[in-house]
Amino acid sequence: MQVSRVARGLWVKPTTMQSHTLDTKPPAYIGRTFERAGVWFWNNILYYTRFGLRDARYNPNVHGPYLPSRYYGPKDKTFAEVKVGELPAWLGRRQKGLLPTYRLIARAHARWMQNYAMVRHGGWSHVWQGLFILALLCYIECWPKYRKWQQARYHW
């Protein structure tokens, strides 16, 4: 009985530059669910918040050009001028929440940029400050490693 010869061997798909992305492409319905979910979230929730919008109390006729480093709310004492007894009342007057926190950080950053970076002859002070903070954060990340130096029996 003649048996037809079949070419046997390890058949490997030829790999090209984009083959690893083409092989593992996810199905279209997953991306589409995310898209539709995002659109629903925006239309029904985000649209009615003030995320990404300027402060509602900003009036261009009164305040002039918009600066993200300025606070367009009612005038109040700064944290340095508040006495200890007035703290609870002062804290009650402040806005609490996610968006006010983000705006506080954004205002501080914008003020720092205005003072050090967005300047005609800026210099290197903003670079050194950023590098210092970066070094500090990297040191904190490596802190567990340096605990061994502390716990060693013999030091330098």
Partner 1 sequence: MALSRSVLRDLIGRQLAQQVRFAASAPATQPKKPEALSQETHARKHEGSVKKVEHEAMKVADPETPKVTSMFDEWGTVYVSPYTKNWKPMPKDFKEHPDRDLANFPHPEMKLRPDKVRLGFIPDKWFLAFYEKTGVTGPYLFGIGLWSFLISKEIVVLEEEMSHMPPLLFINYMVLRLFGHKVEGYYDEVIQNDQIGPLSAVRDQELTGVKQFRSYVDTANKAYDTLLEVLPEVRRENVALELEAVYRERVNQVYKETKRRVEYLVESESVKRRFEQQHMVNWIVDQVTKSFGPEQEKKIMSKCIGDLKTLAKSA
Tokens representing 73 are: 């709310």
Stretch 65-104: interaction string toward partner 1, x if CB under 8 A: x-x--x----x-----------------------------
Residue 68 CA to residue 118 CA, distance in Å, equals 13
Amino acid at the residue 35:
E
Q: Is 118 in the site for partner 1 (CB under 8 A)?
A: yes
- Residue from 1, 149, 153, 154 that binds partner 1 (CB under 8 A)? 149
Residue 135 CA to residue 130 CA, distance in Å, equals 9
Q: Is the CB of 20 or the CB of 148 nearer to partner 1?
A: 148
Check: CB of residue 78 under 8 Å from CB of residue 84.
Answer: no
Residue 50 CA to residue 55 CA, distance in Å, equals 8
In whole angstroms, the minimum distance from the beta carbon of 100 to partner 1 comes to 20
In whole angstroms, the minimum distance from the beta carbon of 71 to partner 1 comes to 10
DSSP annotation of 12 reads -
Residue 59 CA to residue 57 CA, distance in Å, equals 6
Q: Is 122 in the site for partner 1 (CB under 8 A)?
A: yes
Options 2-10, 29-37, 38-46, 115-123: segment touching partner 1 (CB under 8 A): 115-123
3-class secondary structure, 73:
coil
Chain residues in the site for partner 1 (CB under 8 A): 59-65, 67, 70, 75, 114-126, 128-129, 132, 139, 146, 149-150, 155-156
